[in-house]
Amino acid sequence: MIELKTPEEVARMRKAGAVVARLLDFLIPRVEPGLTTKELDRAAQAFLKSQGAEPAFLGYRGFPACICVSVNEEVVHGIPGERTIQAGDIVSLDVGAKLGGYYGDAAATVPVGRVRPEALRLIEVTKRSLERAIELATPAHRLSDISSAVQETVEREGFAVVRDFVGHGIGRAMHEDPPIPNYGPPNRGPRLTPGMVLAIEPMVTMGGWEVEVLDDGWTAVTADRAWAAHFEHTVAVTEQGPEVLTRLS
């Protein structure tokens, strides 16, 4: 069941979303060669504490860190550890925060130093597919219009959409209904309604869409080890159109 949020709840989610936006803004310039992914996690933890917010992912089904850091062929759910970031890498940061009982969730993929052009194009197309999907988060559309817009934007550019992971509703729980696939035909599923809050998150690869989970039980990598990118925003559907809660205004 999709829980509609009242305007008061959306106001709270705006605050949680703002913390997530500031956290990403804080982390992105810190993604530099020589840093371990664990160091990014520590910085994120300290930042969330300074904001009076809780990390959303720590302890979630046993996840052992505050944020997910996924490098190159890692798609999502990378566990921060001893992996050292290198020039030429692309690094996906997925961050979530809980504040005042509500969650915010966002992700971005960051190029480190000089990155090969095809990987930069992957990042640009993934980001564009999210922006296109956000434009459709209005009461004039149905849920699968979002899915379809992502798939169309991505495949037109010769990239592939990951199917094993999906976006989701978000609110007092990090993952609520509805699941939001990043592929499929348009004009299906529930009509989008003011009060819905959606975490839209395209995951896109330079190769095939198949993924596998490593022995750590979390890190999802592409089956063919092609590189992947991930962008996400938490978006409220309003009468006036989409309101991105995890964007710095």
C-beta atoms surrounding 217 within 10 Å = 12
Q: Judged by CB, which is closer to Mg ion: 85, or 107?
A: 107
- Select from 1-9, 65-73, 102-110, 136-144 the region that touches Mg ion (CB under 5 A): 102-110
Count the neighbouring beta carbons within 10 Å of the beta carbon of residue 164. 13
In the window 177-206, what residues touch Mg ion (CB under 5 A)? 199
Distance of CA 175 to the CA centre of its chain: 12
Burial class (CB in 10 A: 0-12, 13-18, 19+), 138: middle
Please compute Rg for the chain using Cα positions: 17
Taking the least distance from each CB to Mg ion, the nearer of 105 and 117 is 105
CA atoms within 13 A on the CB side of 124: 9
Size of residue set near Mg ion by CB under 5 A: 2
CB of 186 to Mg ion, least distance (A): 22
248, with CB counted inside 10 A (0-12, 13-18, 19+), is exposed
Structure tokens at 42: 């520590």
* Residue (39 or 76) nearer to Mg ion, CB: 76
Q: Is 9 in the site for Mg ion (CB under 5 A)?
A: no
How far apart are CB 236 and Mg ion at their closest, in Å? 15
Taking CB under 5 A as the rule, does residue 73 contact Mg ion? Answer: no
- Which residues make Cβ contacts (< 8 Å) with residue 112, sequence separation at least 6? 31, 32, 33, 85, 86, 87, 88, 89, 90, 91
Least Å distance, CB 200 to Mg ion, is: 9
Binding segment (CB under 5 A) for Mg ion, from list 29-37, 105-113, 202-210, 223-231: 105-113
Query: Smaller CB distance to Mg ion: residue 64 or 88?
Result: 64
- At its nearest, how many Å lie between Mg ion and the CB of residue 182? 12
Q: How far is the CB of 173 from Mg ion (least distance, A)?
A: 12
Contact 83, 112 (CB under 8 A): no
Residue (140 or 178) nearer to Mg ion, CB: 178
245 binds Mg ion (CB under 5 A): no
List of residues 6+ apart from 143 with CB closer than 8 A: 178, 180, 188, 189, 190, 191, 192
Minimum CB distance to Mg ion, residue 234 (Å): 8
Please say which residue, 121 or 175, places its beta carbon nearer to Mg ion.
175
Tell me which stretch binds Mg ion (CB under 5 A): 4-12, 27-35, 66-74, 100-108.
100-108
- Which of 22, 208, 205, 219 minimizes the C-alpha distance to 109? 205
> Using CB under 5 A, which of 73, 105, 176, 243 touches Mg ion?
105
- Per CB under 5 A, residues contacting Mg ion are 105, 199
